[in-house]
């Protein structure tokens, strides 16, 4: 529901990846550290260019120039939601599944 609310109330923009922001994360398999890359996204918000770090990190750097559809907070354009369609579908499905399971347990259908 949260994604649907953001899609209806926050303005949307088409941005593109201009750089990567590397952050260190702890690797679970080896206990070592590894880099996680977040896209630095440039987009136009109300006639003004903005750059903000995307919220989706991955092991390999993002390709510079990749298009990114995003929603940004009108009062603070640096606060953005840049999940793609598959990520929204996955997270929404997971929340629905967990909510349904919790309801089934509460009603005594699952023990």
pLDDT tens per residue, the chain (111 residues)? 466 677 778 888 999 999 999 998 765 655 667 889 999 999 999 899 999 998 888 889 999 999 988 888 888 888 887 765 555 566 667 778 888 888 888 888 877
The pLDDT, as a whole number, for residue 1 is 46
Q: How far is CA 84 from the centre of its chain?
A: 7
**Domain map of the chain by residue range?**
9-82
The pLDDT, as a whole number, for residue 40 is 95
Q: How far apart are CA 37 and CA 9, in angstroms?
A: 28
The pLDDT, as a whole number, for residue 96 is 83
Buried b (16+ CB within 10 A) or exposed e, 1-38: eebeebeeebeebebebeebeeeeeeeeeeeeeeebbb
């Amino acid at each position: 529901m949260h994604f649907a609310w953001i899609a209806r109330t926050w303005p949307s923009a088409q941005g593109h990846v201009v750089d990567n922001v590397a952050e260190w994360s702890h690797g679970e398999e080896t206990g070592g550290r590894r880099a996680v890359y977040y896209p630095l996204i440039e987009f136009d918000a109300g006639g003004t260019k903005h750059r903000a770090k995307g919220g989706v990190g991955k092991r390999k750097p993002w390709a510079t120039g990749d298009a990114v559809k995003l929603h940004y907070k009108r009062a603070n354009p640096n606060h953005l939601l840049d999940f793609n369609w598959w990520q929204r579908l996955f997270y929404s499905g997971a929340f629905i599944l967990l909510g349904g399971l919790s309801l089934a347990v509460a009603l005594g259908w699952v023990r």
